[in-house]
Amino acid sequence: MKLLYFAWVRERIGKADEEVEAPAHVRTVADLVGWLSGRGEQYAYAFENPKVIRAAIDRAHVRADTALAGAHEIAFFPPMTGG
């Protein structure tokens, strides 16, 4: 699946997007955050406070306990500051 990162999540990870194959035990958004955090210190830094991380699956806001099944595009970003 495709991952997208925005704002300081993107800056900390050091890339705007990537393709990943997560292992089978990664079933929810929270699982994915945990798995990504173990991939390197830039990921650990980006996700150090999971409570402030927002996620979207296929362009719609989702909660951390949402299942990843069927997701094509998953985005991680800080709270929005538009308007």
Partner 1 sequence: MMRTIRLQREDFDAGAEQAALARGRPDIGALVAFTGICRGDGISAMTLEHYPGMAEEEIARHVEEAERRWSLKGVTIIHRFGRLVPGDNIVLVVTASAHRAAAFAAAEFLMDYLKTQAPFWKREERGDSASWVDAKAADDQAAERWNRRADAAE
The answer to whether 38 contacts partner 1 (rule: CB under 8 A) is no
Residue 20 parent element (H or E): none
Q: Least distance from C-beta 58 to partner 1, angstroms?
A: 9
The answer to whether 75 contacts partner 1 (rule: CB under 8 A) is yes
DSSP 61: E
- For residue 43, the tally of other CB atoms under 10 A from its CB is 19
The answer to whether 4 contacts partner 1 (rule: CB under 8 A) is yes
Amino acid letter for position 26: V
Binding site for partner 1 (CB under 8 A): 4, 6-8, 56, 59-61, 75, 77-83
